[in-house]
């Protein structure tokens, strides 16, 4: 009878059930969420709906308000428009879709308090991952330049990427250039805080959770991270963005809390803003596109950081396995 009671309590304990689900090859939350449509369809509705609303509708509204020469728009007005677009066209749809398709918004988005110890574990990882990806970009751009010098086709593609990258760098520079403390605080709010909340609720909340209902966690996180990278339209930063997205998704899944990935997303963007404030845009552009790198040194640093980061991932996985063994 005692054994039956333990089994019954286990079935009624959602925390314990979700911990057990981590060991399954396919996680199924359908008995808790009762989706009214296929979770796969829900995920793609979130992806394409969010893309259409933010990129298309938001872009049209921006042009109607500021005109075609966006670079001459009032910078604070453009910042507020950017923030409003994130809230109205990313955060709000994610919450609405979660309510419509699943009803249980809390479970879908993973609105559960995160433990500071667990956040700290993942922060150590992002501290190592950031310079690791910077070295990857340096190595990547070195080889792209070398290939472009010997292939007209690759050089043509590189020219398109360079043009797109220059426009993005100009827009980004205008968005985060600040000359006073209040203006810098507004930049941190618009570029670091708001995207961390809005994008995480959409990608690591609604979209990734929907994919988890049909795929193994690894594939759900990977698919979400690919779309996350594509969503930012950054040709040279596509792979680093995908890796960051995967790490954010891994953190949200392991900690069962969207606030963990929000914290990492905020810290990543915040660090970029601080570097910009200190070094300036010209220095950042030179470092991101400069092909004159010490290749041997960059590869050595990249491999060393990769080994350290792999060790951190091992420690995180071990921590959660030990934690679950005591549940």
Compute the distance between CA of residue 132 and CA of residue 304 in angstroms, rounded to an integer. Answer: 9
Residue pLDDT, tens place only, 286-309: 545 555 778 999 999 999 999 999
Asked whether the predicted pLDDT for residue 4 surpasses 50, the reply is: no
Kindly report the length of the chain: 327
Compute the distance between CA of residue 136 and CA of residue 242 in angstroms, rounded to an integer. Answer: 13
What local confidence, expressed as pLDDT, does residue 10 receive?
42
Q: Residue 284 contacts by C-beta under 8 Å, 6 or more apart in sequence?
A: 275, 276
Percent pLDDT > 70 in the chain is 85
Asked whether the predicted pLDDT for residue 29 surpasses 60, the reply is: no
∠ CA(77), CA(83), CA(84), 5° rounding? 85
Confidence band (pLDDT; 50, 70, 90) for 74? confident
Asked whether the predicted pLDDT for residue 21 surpasses 50, the reply is: no
- Average pLDDT for the chain: 87
Place of tokens 């790198």: 293
Confidence band (pLDDT; 50, 70, 90) for 95? very high
Averaged pLDDT, 233-240: 92
DSSP 223-276: HHHHHHHHHTT-STTHHHHHHHHHHHHHHHHHHT-HHHHHHHHHHHHHHHHHHH
What local confidence, expressed as pLDDT, does residue 116 receive?
94
More confident of the two residues 40 and 68: 40
What local confidence, expressed as pLDDT, does residue 65 receive?
87
Averaged pLDDT, 55-84: 86
- Encode burial over 258-273: b for 16+ CB neighbours within 10 A, e otherwise: bbbbbbbbbbbbeebb
pTM: 0.87
∠ CA(254), CA(125), CA(200), 5° rounding? 55
More confident of the two residues 208 and 75: 208
Asked whether the predicted pLDDT for residue 8 surpasses 50, the reply is: no
- Phi-psi bin for 67: left (phi > 0), alpha (psi -120 to 50), beta? left
Nearest to 167 by CA among 70, 241, 74: 70
What local confidence, expressed as pLDDT, does residue 11 receive?
45
What local confidence, expressed as pLDDT, does residue 1 receive?
41
Asked whether the predicted pLDDT for residue 197 surpasses 90, the reply is: yes
């Amino acid at each position: 009878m005692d054994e039956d009671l333990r089994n019954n309590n286990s079935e009624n304990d959602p925390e314990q059930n979700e911990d057990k689900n981590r060991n399954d090859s396919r996680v199924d939350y359908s008995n808790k969420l009762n989706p009214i449509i296929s979770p796969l369809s829900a995920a793609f509705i979130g992806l394409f709906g969010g893309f259409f609303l933010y990129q298309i509708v938001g872009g049209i509204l921006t042009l109607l308000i500021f005109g075609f020469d966006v670079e001459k728009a009032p910078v604070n007005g453009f910042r507020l428009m950017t923030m409003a677009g994130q809230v109205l066209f990313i955060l709000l749809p994610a919450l609405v879709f979660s309510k419509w398709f699943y009803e249980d918004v809390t479970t879908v988005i993973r609105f559960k308090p995160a433990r500071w110890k667990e956040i700290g574990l993942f922060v150590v990882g992002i501290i190592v991952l950031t310079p690791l990806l910077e070295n990857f970009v340096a190595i990547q751009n070195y080889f792209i330049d070398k290939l472009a010098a010997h292939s007209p086709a690759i050089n043509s593609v590189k020219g398109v990427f360079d043009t797109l990258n220059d426009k993005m760098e100009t827009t980004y520079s205008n968005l985060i250039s600040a000359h006073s403390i209040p203006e810098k605080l507004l930049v941190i709010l618009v570029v670091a805080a708001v995207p961390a909340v809005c994008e995480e609720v959409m990608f690591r909340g609604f979209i990734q959770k929907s994919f988890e209902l049909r795929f193994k966690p690894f594939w759900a996180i990977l698919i979400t991270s690919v779309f996350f990278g594509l969503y930012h339209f950054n040709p040279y930063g596509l792979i680093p963005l995908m890796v960051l997205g995967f790490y954010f998704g891994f953190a949200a899944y392991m900690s069962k809390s969207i606030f963990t990935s929000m914290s990492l997303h905020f810290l990543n963007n915040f660090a970029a803003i601080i570097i910009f404030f200190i070094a300036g845009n010209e220095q950042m552009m030179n470092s991101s596109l400069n092909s004159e790198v010490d290749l041997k040194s960059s590869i050595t640093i990249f491999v060393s950081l990769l080994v350290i980061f792999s060790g951190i991932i091992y420690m995180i996985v071990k921590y959660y396995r030990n934690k679950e063994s005591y549940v």
